[in-house]
Amino acid sequence: MSSSAVVSLEQTAAHLASIVGEEHTHLSGQTISAYPANASEIAEVLRFADSAGLAVTPTGGGTKLGWGNSVAAPILLGLGRMAALREHSWHDMTCTVEAGCAWNVMQAQLALHGQMVAVDPLWPDRATAGGIVSTNDGGALRLRYGSLRDLILGMTVVLAEGSITKSGGKVVKNCAGYDLPKLMTGGFGTLAVIASVNFRLHPLEKHARAWTATAPDPAELRAPLHALLDSQMIPCSAQLRMGPQECALDVRVAAVPECLREHEVRLQQIFAPVALAEPDPSVWRARESLFAQPGALVLKVTLLPADLCSIAAELRQQAAKDQIELAIVAQAFGLMTVALTAPPDAAFLFVERLRARLRPSGGSVVALQVPDSLRGRLEVWDCQSNALPLMREIKRRFDPNRILNPGRFVGGI
């Protein structure tokens, strides 16, 4: 840290106002929110924060600020003014969007040319491109289109000491230099501030249908789900929903109209004797309802795809035994969102058990939304990697003064 003098909150606010403008700087409590208009202003803010040793939390819609370890940063860097879809090369099926653009705003503009970024994140009305990328959030569409990391072509990011850098590119294929966007995706804003992202686009699904199979026990859905994934059908999404009473498997397929009928017949065969019904489209936003339960501990559980139904069944039994209220929305590629409402001790034990259960096969349990009763007690992250020292070294090389979201990420990064 080059500055030895301690800067007061007021001085900081005044300095930030001189960069982004008075009207785009707000002081509330111990936090100053500053809203830069472009990458150069982000750079100036970071340069100042870096030299003054002030921590910065970048934020978009603020929907996931609670994820990861809590950080008390004096500067909240709001990307809300950087919200434009800067470029949509529809013939090339690529786009460049500023980090603060709300997902649905972006999608609506891309839809004008029949295209989309094939990711269905949480709270798309408010969540922004930058925040979604930083937290690597995505929903059921990943089964068909891959995850965010497969759809990001390039980025412009601002490093802690204020240099603006580009990596990747705008073309769909590119292996020139290191793939830094991979580090930023899911990096929780600890390495750099994302200014804009270049995405690869897909055509909107013109003809799609969905079906739901319900069963009392998730174990009963195991064989059909396996058969589905091993079949020639390529569903866009396959999702298991489980509440205390019932569980359901939702399948969505997009195809040319001629084929949808055939897919339906195949599905009926796979699921027989369970009958198929048409689900309400809201099932694809079922993940959101888990976060809405007051006081619930919400977990992101990753596991081997073939274990999905059996682990869900195990968890349900365990929950019943321990009087835990449990709801699960799980994606067929091996990702579960789990909400549990339980006394702190029971919830704590549940998580520890599940971690131990999944560890040998490479799975993990990350606590996304932690009720106050467990804050500080429950380890949020679940990183067993022997590469943690290397991750710390990467952080040190990018942010030696630890101003970007210090402590939020795995291992206190």
Partner 1 sequence: MLTPSQIDEFRAAVDPDGIITLKSQLQTYECDGLTNLRALPGIVVLPRSAREVQAVVRICARHKIPFVSRGSGTGLSGGALPAEGGVLIALTRMNRILQVDIPNRFAVVEPGVFNSQVSQRVASSGYFYAPDPSSQPVCTIGGNVAENAGGAHCLKYGFTATHTLGLEVVLPNGELVSFGSPAPDASGYDLTGVFIGSEGTLGVVTKITLRIVKRPEAVQTLLAAFDSPQAAGQTVSEIIAAGMLPSALEIMDTLAIEAAEAAVHAHYPRCGGLLLVELDGPASEVAALMPEVRAICLANGAGEIRLAQSDEERALVWKGRKAAFAAVGRISPSYIVQDGVIPRTALHEVLAEIGRMAAEAGLRVANVFHAGDGNLHPLVLYDRAIAGQEETALDLSYRILRLCVDRGGSITGEHGVGKEKQEALGYMFAEPDLDAMQRVRCAFDPEKIANPGKIFPRLHLCAEQAGPPTAHPLETPISAEAPS
Among positions 128-187, residues that touch partner 1 (CB under 8 A) are: 136, 146-147, 149-150, 156-157, 159, 161-167, 169-180, 182-183, 185-187
User: Can residue 333 be called a binding residue for partner 1 (CB under 8 A)?
Assistant: yes
Q: How far is the CB of 335 from partner 1 (least distance, A)?
A: 6
Nearer of residues 102 and 139 to partner 1, judged by Cβ: 139
Nearest one of 195, 198, 172 to 88, comparing CA atoms: 198
Nearest one of 29, 41, 33, 26 to 58, comparing CA atoms: 33
Nearest one of 115, 119, 173, 110 to 147, comparing CA atoms: 119
Question: For partner 1, how many residues bind (rule: CB under 8 A)?
Answer: 93
Nearer of residues 214 and 302 to partner 1, judged by Cβ: 302
- What residue ranges in 55-206 does DSSP mark as E strands? 56-59, 75-78, 85-89, 94-98, 115-116, 152-159, 164-168, 192-200, 202-203
Q: Which positions from 220 to 239 touch partner 1 by CB under 8 A, shown as an x/- string? A: ------x--xxxxxx-----
Work out which of 259, 274, 346, 349 binds partner 1, going by CB under 8 A.
259
Which positions from 299 through 318 interact with partner 1, judged by CB under 8 A?
Answer: 300, 302-306
Q: How far is the CB of 357 from partner 1 (least distance, A)?
A: 12
User: Can residue 291 be called a binding residue for partner 1 (CB under 8 A)?
Assistant: no
Cβ–Cβ < 8 Å for 70, 375: yes
Cβ–Cβ < 8 Å for 5, 26: no
Which positions from 356 through 385 interact with partner 1, judged by CB under 8 A?
Answer: 358, 361-364, 366, 381-383, 385
User: Can residue 406 be called a binding residue for partner 1 (CB under 8 A)?
Assistant: no
User: Can residue 47 be called a binding residue for partner 1 (CB under 8 A)?
Assistant: yes
3-state secondary structure of 167: strand
Take residue 79 and report the two structure tokens written for it. Answer: 């990307």
Which positions from 67 through 106 interact with partner 1, judged by CB under 8 A?
Answer: 89, 91-94
Say how far residue 330 (Cα) sits from the centre of its chain: 14
Nearer of residues 91 and 321 to partner 1, judged by Cβ: 91
Rounded Cα distance between 34 and 80, Å, is 10
Rounded Cα distance between 262 and 231, Å, is 13
| Stretch binding partner 1 (CB under 8 A), from 27-35, 243-251, 315-323, 404-412 | 404-412
Which positions from 262 through 281 interact with partner 1, judged by CB under 8 A?
Answer: 262-263
Work out which of 48, 199, 211, 398 binds partner 1, going by CB under 8 A.
398
Q: How far is the CB of 140 from partner 1 (least distance, A)?
A: 13
Take residue 30 and report the two structure tokens written for it. Answer: 């111990």
DSSP 1-17: ----SPPPHHHHHHHHH
Q: How far is the CB of 407 from partner 1 (least distance, A)?
A: 15
Which positions from 15 through 44 interact with partner 1, judged by CB under 8 A?
Answer: 39-40, 43
User: Can residue 400 be called a binding residue for partner 1 (CB under 8 A)?
Assistant: yes
Nearer of residues 106 and 158 to partner 1, judged by Cβ: 158
User: Can residue 243 be called a binding residue for partner 1 (CB under 8 A)?
Assistant: no
Take residue 337 and report the two structure tokens written for it. Answer: 């969102």
Cβ–Cβ < 8 Å for 124, 61: no
Nearest one of 172, 143, 325 to 235, comparing CA atoms: 143
Cβ–Cβ < 8 Å for 413, 391: yes
